[in-house]
A and B are shown apart, each in its own frame.
Chain A
Amino acid sequence: MDVKALSFLGIKGKIGLIIILFVVFIGITAPVISPYDPTSLFEPFEPPSSTHLLGTDDVGHDVLTILIYGARVSILVGFATATISTFIGLLTALIAGCYEGLDPIISRILDFFLVIPRIPFIVIISAFLTPNIFIVILVLSFFGWAKTARVIKPLVKQVYSREYVKRLKCIGAGNWYIILRHILPATFPLAVAQFVLEGGHAILAEASIGFFGLEDPSTLSWGMEINHALQKSIIFLTNIWTWVLGPPILMLTITLLSTTFISIDLETRINPRLKVRSW
């Protein structure tokens, strides 16, 4: 890890980054580090012990194994959604900010996408289409890019109206030259902050879909695990919920917190109006 890149972030950002990297690590190395195969079954509701570090759930899956494999889904959904929506959002923001004539049209399109509530729409879509992780990614990106575009567009406009851009235009620089060489580097940090935030939102949205039970039942995700656990209300009569429900919720919370930490940290460094805040 490059120490210099880390030193750009504050303490919050560093903690967030370390947690995210940890989650990515366990997601990638899941087949190696997980104690059991995700399909193997044991006695249901076994408490944590040396053989099952986090116990087993209602069907007899090892909770730790499911947790480790669940990280894969969350990271995949988060990363893919964030990549697609940041790319489209950034491109839209650059076009809207630099071509004045297109701005009103693009702004109305953004408004349209921003007012559609994301999760209810996904619930409807998942009810009709085959519940599939790639459809979830596509639908999440379909609604995620508008927010990224809305956040980045004002910065693009601000940079585009700077005096040096006018000077370059006068010298003969083309619009795309200015966009690629000057405006994109200026907006890139904000795009990274949006990327991380969007990733976090996508992870949460995916977990919500799993929680509603609208995903492919064989998907091993944290949301699905919470859904399975909640279907057996018996777990709340004893302390079973502490190992069946607790770990996925905790992992989800920690992951979301860390993405939020990174994006807040990046934003306070980019946006001068937030710099006074110190927490």
Chain B
Amino acid sequence: MMRFNSLKTPLVQGINLTKIFRYGLIWGEPVEAVKNVNINLLRGASLSLTGESGSGKTTLGKILLGIIRPTSGKVLFNGIDLTNPKRVPKYIRRMMSYIPQHPEEAFDPRWRLYDNIAEPLRIHKLIGSKEEEKEIIFKLAEDVSLDTSLLNRRPFEVSGGEIQRAVIASALATNPLFMVCDEPTSMLDISTQADILRLLKNIRDKLNISLLFISHDIEIASFMGFKIAVMLKGRIVEMADVDKLINEPLHPYTQGLLGIVKVEYVSSYAKNCRGCPYYDRCPVKMLPCREKEPKLKNVGGDHYVACFRY
């Protein structure tokens, strides 16, 4: 078994992560999905990523899980490099889990919920007998308040909320330390959303899981995280504790998300702009914003912001 570092050192560390997608052979324009992102996640801490669609939240989450290989940069999971997916030892994989955006896509449609939930256990050969497996699965189902009579059904025979509970149960099967939830509630109705969020929060607190919660909704993000990072065009533009960020947002984009300032409508954005990613829409833009990109800097009390005004 590996030894875990103290609570002070980060469990997951992303250093200078950049991911550039290229489409096509010759004319394809490279897309910077994630650019120069540094991110740390302590053991048991939880961080929410928020931002508009296409801002690179999902890509960053997948890079941190080692599903996508970054173009440059490094991901360390308790000191072990995840950048080359083939070199990652299997027992490391047991400590992470992933809840995808569409719950109905998260399971093999041919398998019963029971087998789908049990699959992580079977991959890592963590169970001895069928009875033991059944006991564990039923306990997991109980933990996520999933009706055990549904376990014999297939994913398309149950509702979205039920299947999301099953996905969470499956994610918890191997007792992970690090969990990425990619908009787990965006496909559900409001009341089910609240249930699932409360469930995730309870589980996080009970099992001391480091949670990376991705949501485009800043309210949900602030409900789930201890810290929030706001992303824009692949960069983190502001990062702070929840209270601080909600009560005194510094970056104009965050202020726009929270509805503090009115954001003017821009019909088209400049491509590959050298300057600040928010230059087109910013209501308080200044001269240097156009030419130079602001760096993420600490403005005191663990509040990071990338804007020339601070």
Contact = CB atoms under 8 A, between A and B. Distances in A.
Interface of A: 162-164, 166-173, 177, 182, 185-186
Nearest to A169: B67
Nearest to B96: A170
A172 B108 contact: no
Contacts of B98: 166-167, 170-171
Nearest to A186: B110
A164 B107 contact: yes
Contacts of B62: 166
Interface string B98-119: 1011100111101000000001
A164 B115 CA distance: 13
B66 interface: yes
Between A171, A182, A185, the greatest number of chain B beta carbons within 10 A of the residue's beta carbon is seen for A171
A167 B110 contact: no
B101 A173 contact: no
B55 interface: no
Given A172-B123, A186-B110, A167 B100 contact: yes
B151 to A, nearest CB: 17
B106 A170 contact: no
8 contacts: A163-B101, A163-B102, A163-B106, A167-B98, A170-B98, A171-B123, A173-B119, A182-B108
B124 interface: yes
Given A163-B100, A163-B102, A177-B123, A170 B65 contact: yes
Nearest to A185: B110
Given A163-B106, A164-B105, A177-B123, A171 B100 contact: no
Contacts of B94: 171-172
Give the interface SS of chain A, mostly helix, strand, loop or mixed.
helix
B174 interface: yes
B97 interface: yes
A167 B124 contact: no
B206 interface: no
Nearest to A175: B86
A182 B67 CA distance: 18
A218 B47 CA distance: 79
Contacts of B65: 170
A151 B65 CA distance: 33
A164 B123 contact: no
Nearest to B101: A163
Between B96, B102, B108, B174, the greatest number of chain A beta carbons within 10 A of the residue's beta carbon is seen for B108
Contact of A171 (B93, B102, B107, B110): B93
Contacts of A169: 67, 85
Nearest to B120: A171
Interface in B102-160: 102, 105-108, 110, 119-120, 123-124
A172 B98 CA distance: 11
Contacts of B106: 163-164, 167
A169 B98 CA distance: 10
Contacts of B105: 162-164
A240 B66 CA distance: 75
A185 B108 CA distance: 11
Nearest to B110: A185
